[in-house]
Chains A and B, each alone.
Chain A
């Protein structure tokens, strides 16, 4: 049986071992529930609340029509004022003292305080302007910034702002989710196989390299399917948000080329890191007690490093991160969303990443070959390094 067929048999097994439609649908349902609750909350928060009536005594204020506050004249009699407050006809009575300060009489803590203070501030500013003889328009002219219009040579690709940064951040989140999903399943799967003593039965049938290749493919597929469920859920929520609030996805994030690049780099990045996870997991006996567990957090480092691209996507550091195989999976797609790396840069990045995957896969295979048969004592990092550099041919199959 060929190496490829062996790896595909293992990949199919690993995928089906963890993938359950029921789990996926439950996850999607939960995602949609959370998403729609969030959209609903945003809609409720954006809607006008209950009208708040404030009585004015010696104050001239105009309530804007879009606000919650309405002003009415205050009753003349103190007893009537108290009764109006008690009955809830008015929520507060605003009086201006002789020294110019304001007094708000309420029964309960005024939740509308910020809105009221803003209106008062506006009113007081107008009074002070009038006292200086300057018009509001004159003041605005003095305080306004120098006019600058930015024009893009290609508005479709050049205009990048907060929405694009959010899209890049969402991509990083998706990638991290896929990486940590893979890590969790590879670690529990491989250490579980060691504990269950399945290893010898498998490595007597196929080569360790075919086994690790199949595992990496299968778990990568499973992680992508899991993340795919979240993406579908996210798109459905975005669709709901669009209908409810007019929200739209940033143009740069939905360009076919960008989507393709995001997909390719996500898959390649996962293959690279999953090979690393599989090798490390094979040297562990028990993930609960192994000191090696911390090594599994290493792939978070390049992701965090690549956040530098968010700050300045065209800096030298960002360009290096987009080429370096350890960081290119998150960094280059971010540059794609936030800037315009040329085709040569994309091609070089893919080529370097493919080379790194091949190298990592071979080293991981060598570590896996020895690590999977070790029980009891965990090897030292020096021993692992020696296995990785081992140039002995694999056991013939």
Chain B
């Protein structure tokens, strides 16, 4: 976990961007601290990718200000040699051998050819792809192509890595692999800004998150803070005896939500309710063979916050 006192490397001040008269990013402000993993979350169309594109200087904001302090220099956008970028809309040259492509992208980010080649070898070895360095990119599986794309984004060892939807299109094993890489980069001192909507992965990787909806911030803070701020309701998972009917628990006054999945029942109690008295009542009326408590998942925090924001927005419109 990074310290709260770490200086910020990227700052957005009331940044706005519209396309065809529609506000895509609306007075968005945040700062990314040095050494942390900062996640931008939000549903499709929330403005995450537009924000990221403004951060790397591909598009300019209509209003507001961007600032970056990286490697001792202050700039309006992070300088390319200090920044790695994995775009959401990504691709590489399919007909070119893997090693040549990586050397090219390393050189575009300021490396000398020899150094770019050395680092490409190191990364390919790390990714178990060294024996395929001379193959065309399109000879690799999709997962391996994604690995090559990630290498191309960070081959120059950037101070700041901006990863837009790094987990999308990956199978679970590759997602775990990418998650480990994000952690490794962080341990190596790289500040990481990622945008994603795979909440379970973000929950495991991010130090702080900012939840966006309709181009605006609706929540931000550490994962723990978000849980506490938005949802402090106790959650239980009950394992029922086969043939037992959990429906009777719906009638308990402390139960707010109940979801049955086979022999398991997920229960959310009302805020502020004590768990022990409820369990005593439940054991008395139903055949329960096991109990587990559950922390609220970021996914639920996300869904609830976005729904509330949408409801507020619709109310405003109405």
Contact = CB atoms under 8 A, between A and B. Distances in A.
Q: How large is the interface on A (under 10, 10 to 19, 20 to 34, 35 or more residues)?
A: 20 to 34
Contacts of B60: 392, 395
A396 B76 contact: yes
B57 A396 contact: yes
A386 interface: no
Nearest to A397: B80
A202 B89 CA distance: 12
A373 B104 contact: no
Contact of A201 (B75, B81, B92, B96): B92
A1 B106 CA distance: 12
A17 B93 CA distance: 10
Nearest to B108: A205
Contacts of B79: 397
B90 A9 contact: no
A206 B58 contact: no
B110 A197 contact: no
Interface in A196-227: 196-198, 200-206
B81 A204 contact: no
A198 B77 contact: no
Contacts of B218: none
Contact of A200 (B80, B90, B109): B90
B56 A198 contact: no
A203 B92 contact: no
Best-surrounded residue of A13, A17, A204, A392 (most CB of chain B within 10 A): A204
B77 A395 contact: yes
Contacts of B75: 396
A1 B96 CA distance: 24
Contacts of A198: 91-93
A181 interface: no
A6 B105 CA distance: 11
A200 B90 CA distance: 7
Nearest to A8: B107
Contacts of A395: 57-58, 60, 77
A13 B76 CA distance: 29
Per DSSP, are chain B's interface residues mostly helix, strand or loop, or mixed? loop
Interface string A164-203: 0000000000000000000000000000010011101111
Given A197-B90, A201-B87, A373-B58, A206 B77 contact: no
B153 interface: yes
B91 A196 contact: yes
Contacts of A373: 58-59
Contacts of B58: 200, 203-204, 373, 395
Interface string A234-272: 000000000000000000000000000000000000000
B94 interface: yes
Contacts of A197: 87, 89-91
Given A373-B58, A395-B60, A397-B57, A201 B76 contact: no
A196 B83 contact: no
Nearest to B90: A197
Interface in B41-91: 53, 56-60, 75-77, 79-81, 83, 85, 87, 89-91
Contact of A6 (B108, B149, B152, B153): B108
A107 to B, nearest CB: 63
Contacts of A9: 104, 107-108
Interface in A1-22: 1, 6, 9-10, 13, 16-17
Given A1-B110, A205-B109, A13 B91 contact: no
Given A196-B92, A198-B91, A397-B79, A204 B107 contact: no
B94 A196 contact: yes
A13 B57 CA distance: 23
A397 B76 CA distance: 9
Nearest to B149: A201
Contact of A204 (B83, B91, B92): B83
Nearest to A208: B58
Given A17-B96, A395-B58, A202 B108 contact: yes
Contacts of B107: 9
A373 B87 CA distance: 12
Contacts of B153: 201
B210 to A, nearest CB: 21
Contacts of A193: 93
A192 to B, nearest CB: 8
19 contacts: A1-B80, A1-B81, A196-B92, A197-B89, A198-B92, A200-B89, A201-B91, A201-B152, A201-B153, A202-B108, A204-B57, A204-B80, A205-B80, A205-B85, A373-B59, A395-B57, A395-B77, A396-B57, A396-B75
The list of the 8 closest CB pairs from A to B, nearest first, reads: A197-B91, A200-B87, A196-B91, A205-B108, A204-B85, A204-B56, A1-B110, A395-B57
